[in-house]
Amino acid sequence: MKLTFPHMGNMYIALRVLLDALGREYIVPPKTSKKTLSLGVRHSPETACLPLKLNLGNMLEAAETGADSMLVIGGGGPCRFGYYGTVQEQILKDLGYDVSFYYFSQDTREDFINMFKTISNGRSLLRIWQAFKFGLRKLAAIERIEGLSRQHRAFSSTPKKATKLQEKYLRAIDDAGGYWKVRRLERLAKREYEALPRREVTEESVLRVGIVGELFVVLESFVNFEIERRLGEMGVFVRRPVSLSAWLHHKMTTGSFSDKDDRETAKEFAADYLAYDAGGESVVSVGQSVRLAREGYDGMVHFMPFTCMPEIVAQNILTRVSEEEDIPILTLIFDEHTAEAGIVTRLEAFVDLISRQATPL
């Protein structure tokens, strides 16, 4: 059994910790690339959403190097994400691959624990749980570093350095062997970021933009053409209230991690516009847009894959949010035909627009 799993942001770092602890043989699929995309697109249903296609590409690339068991997330709904596995399993079967699928079910905590038991390789549940928690700790550390990057890109005179630091620490955290090491890296990173030279701006004069949208597209910089970095390098402060660890907490727990997560806050802010969770990140997209608008942010960028059901709901509602909360919202839709230049042009125009609004003549 040679395990593999489709990519989603930095999830592989947490999964690596887990699978190492299980003593399982596994392959991390090559970083998502143009090749991944074209492989995935070739064999996917045409109007399936982009994450399905990219994940199928990840699986095909991993299978080429010998992976025969796919670890996927299943169940949940009503968004399509929870049903990817079943469809991908069928596609791989039709293509003649002899692979088995293992589903992490989102439906109940019991399902989740049973899944751990299936792949446990004889290790104790406690040991697995510890590994999993350490994996989550690493993700949290990486998200903290990403936060530092967003902060310092906007205020630094050398924003590209922030990106370099981020890459460096991402690798270091991936390699780190224990909690104390991760903590040390966090401290070191903070010091290094703070040493970056600042440009001559006041807190108030920097434009502030929030990024919301469908999780996968927000997390995969290959898909979204690193918009977060680009905005930062334009001197814009970016806030991204959507993260992998928050999503994992939401999916895995029935409230045991934190008493009130970002999602609950978002729901409260969304209440006047979207009174019920319509799946995926829909309620977060709406709620966080309302929240950041009320906090005086200058604009929102909303990401979604083409045909994404929950985000189409959000998009329909964001037009009203934009009007009533008086905040410009740019929706960017991604599929295999999306071109970098088109996205960048629109992003630049958007930043021009909000900067003109922020400093009236």
Partner 1 sequence: MRLGLPRILNLYHRYLPLMAGFFRALPGVELVISAPTNKDIVARGIASTVDDACLPLKVAFGHLHELNGAVDRIFLPRLVSLEPGSSMCPKFIGLPDMAKSCVDKQLPLIAPVADVNRGRGGLLETLVTAGKELGFEESVIEQALSRGERAQAQYRADCLSGKDPVALLKAIETRREYRPPKEEGELNIRVIGRSYLLFDTFASLGLMEKLRRLGGRLLTNEAVDHRTIERELGRYQRPPYWTLGREILGAASYFLRQADTDGVVFVEPFQCGPASLLLTLVEAIAAEHPDVPFTALVLDEHTGDAGLMTRLEAFTDMIYRSRMHREVK
CB of residue 280 to partner 1, shortest distance in Å: 7
Q: Which of residues 331-350 bind partner 1 (CB under 8 A)?
A: 331, 333
The reply to whether 354 sits near partner 1 by the rule CB under 8 A is no
Interface residue with partner 1 among 158, 307, 338, 357 (CB under 8 A) is 307
Edge-first strand listing for the sheet containing 299-305: 237-239, 208-213, 299-305, 329-334
* Residue 328 touching partner 1 (CB under 8 A): no
Helix (H, G, I), strand (E, B) or coil at 38: helix
Interface region with partner 1, contact rule CB under 8 A, candidates 108-116, 188-196, 295-303, 314-322 = 314-322
# residues near partner 1 by CB under 8 A: 47
Instruction: Select the residue interacting with partner 1 from 37, 170, 312, 343 (CB under 8 A).
Output: 312
- First CA to last CA distance, the chain: 66
Is residue 330 a contact point for partner 1 (CB under 8 A)?
Answer: no
Of 201 and 275, CB closest to partner 1: 275
- Residue 128 or 284: the one with the smaller Cβ distance to partner 1 is 284
Please state, in angstroms and rounded to a whole number, the distance separating the CA atoms of residues 20 and 203.
44
Helices (H), the chain: 11-22, 34-43, 50-64, 84-94, 109-118, 125-155, 159-175, 179-194, 215-219, 221-224, 227-233, 244-252, 262-270, 282-294, 309-324, 340-358
**114 touching partner 1, by CB under 8 A:** no
Evaluate whether 71 touches 24 at the Cβ level (below 8 Å).
no
**C-beta closer to partner 1: residue 47 or 118:** 47
Q: Which stretch in 13-21, 122-130, 289-297, 313-321 sits in contact with partner 1 by CB under 8 A? A: 313-321
- Binding test (CB under 8 A) with partner 1, winner from 279, 285, 302, 350: 279
Choose the binding region for partner 1 from 143-151, 159-167, 250-258, 273-281 (rule: CB under 8 A): 273-281
Say if CB 13 and CB 224 are below 8 A apart.
Answer: no
Residue in 276, 342, 349, 356 binding partner 1, rule: CB under 8 A: 276
For residue 11, the minimal CB distance to partner 1 (Å) is 21
Handedness of CA 315, 317, 322, 327 (dihedral sign): negative
Q: Compose the 48-87 pattern: x for residues touching partner 1 by CB under 8 A, - for all others.
A: xx--x---------------------xxxxxxx-xxxxxx
Buried b (16+ CB within 10 A) or exposed e, 80-115: bbbebbeebbebbeeeeeebebbbbbbeeeeebeeb
Among residues 6 and 280, whose Cβ is nearest to partner 1?
280
Half-sphere exposure of residue 308: CA atoms within 13 angstroms, side-chain side: 33
Angstrom distance (rounded) from CA 200 to CA 50 = 41
Query: Minimal distance in Å, beta carbon 312 to partner 1?
Result: 6
Residue 148, φ and ψ in degrees, nearest 5:
-60, -40
Binding pattern to partner 1, positions 92-111, x when CB under 8 A?
A: --x--------x--------
Is 236 an interacting residue with respect to partner 1 (CB under 8 A)? no
Which residue, among 213, 185, 188, 204, has the nearest Cα to 306 in the 3D structure? 213
Which of 319, 345 has the CB closer to partner 1?
319
Q: Closest separation between CB of residue 87 and partner 1, Å?
A: 5
Q: Are strands 100-105 and 237-239 parallel, antiparallel or unpaired?
A: unpaired
**Which one-letter amino acid corresponds to residue 320?**
R
Q: Is 129 in the site for partner 1 (CB under 8 A)?
A: no
Interface with partner 1, residue 41, by CB under 8 A: no
Residue 273 or residue 350: which is nearer to partner 1 going by CB? Answer: 273
DSSP 8-class letter at 337: T
Task: Give the Cα separation of 153 and 313 in Å (integer).
Answer: 32
Measured at the CA of 313, the angle between CA 293 and CA 219, to 5 degrees, comes to: 70
Under the rule (CB under 8 A), what is the footprint of partner 1? 45-49, 52, 74-80, 82-87, 90-91, 94, 103, 273-280, 282, 306-310, 312-317, 319-320, 331, 333
